[in-house]
Amino acid sequence: MTRQLAERELTPEGPRRGRIKSGPRPRRTVTVNLAESPLVWLHARGHISDRLLDAGEALRADYERSAMTASITMRWDPVRVKTTGERGLSPTEKQIAARQRFSGAIAAAGKGLEDILWRVVCAGEALPEAEKALGWPTRSGKLVLKIALERVAEYYRIR
């Protein structure tokens, strides 16, 4: 994973984006890795297990393979050439299979848990922002995310 480091000012609400403003009080800053996903961040600090990280990564991979995100450029996939060998899945078939796995995993998580899963795992939204957007109490997202990831791990049969 590529590191993309940036300085952020610490505020009572957490790191603030943008330039550091000088004022009468000394300011504290922290270096953050902008390329680190919220799920990897939680795992690196011991908040989720390897199993839950693997479940989240499998869900994110299926989300990306299913191409449910908006595409803003032309596809440059190589053209399939007929061969005499074993027939593999076409790109469209792979996309459909990934979408079915993603939908199955989200359904396995259960009603009400898909929002936090999608926001943190697929969209890469930090837990505090996801909690705020969903109108949840502070620090409730981690517990709910763990429950959702446990169910997703069962769906993907991750031990």
Q: In this structure, are 2 and 54 located in the same domain?
A: no
Residue 89's pLDDT is: 79
Quote the domain boundaries for residue 147: 37-69+90-159
Rounded Cα–Cα distance for residues 30 and 59 (Å): 30
Residue 68's pLDDT is: 73
Q: In this structure, are 30 and 65 located in the same domain?
A: no
- In a domain, residue 78? The reply is no
Residue 6's pLDDT is: 74
Q: In this structure, are 59 and 117 located in the same domain?
A: yes
> Whole-model pTM?
0.71
Q: In this structure, are 24 and 95 located in the same domain?
A: no
How many domains does the chain fold into? 2
CA torsion sign for 59, 64, 67, 69 is: positive
Q: In this structure, are 41 and 29 located in the same domain?
A: no
Q: In this structure, are 118 and 136 located in the same domain?
A: yes
Q: In this structure, are 56 and 125 located in the same domain?
A: yes
- In a domain, residue 77? The reply is no
- In a domain, residue 127? The reply is yes
Tell me how far the alpha carbon of residue 59 is from its chain's centroid.
Answer: 8
Rounded Cα–Cα distance for residues 63 and 29 (Å): 34
Rounded Cα–Cα distance for residues 80 and 86 (Å): 13
Q: In this structure, are 97 and 50 located in the same domain?
A: yes
What are the beta bridge partners of residue 10?
A: 15
Q: In this structure, are 19 and 41 located in the same domain?
A: no
Q: In this structure, are 44 and 27 located in the same domain?
A: no
Q: In this structure, are 44 and 29 located in the same domain?
A: no
Q: In this structure, are 51 and 1 located in the same domain?
A: no
Residue 34's pLDDT is: 61
Q: By CB neighbour count within 10 A (0-12 exposed, 13-18 middle, 19+ buried), where does 159 fall?
A: exposed
Helices assigned H by DSSP within 7-159: 38-44, 50-65, 91-109, 114-117, 127-134, 141-155
Low-confidence ranges of the chain (pLDDT < 70): 1-2, 10-26, 30, 32-35, 69-87
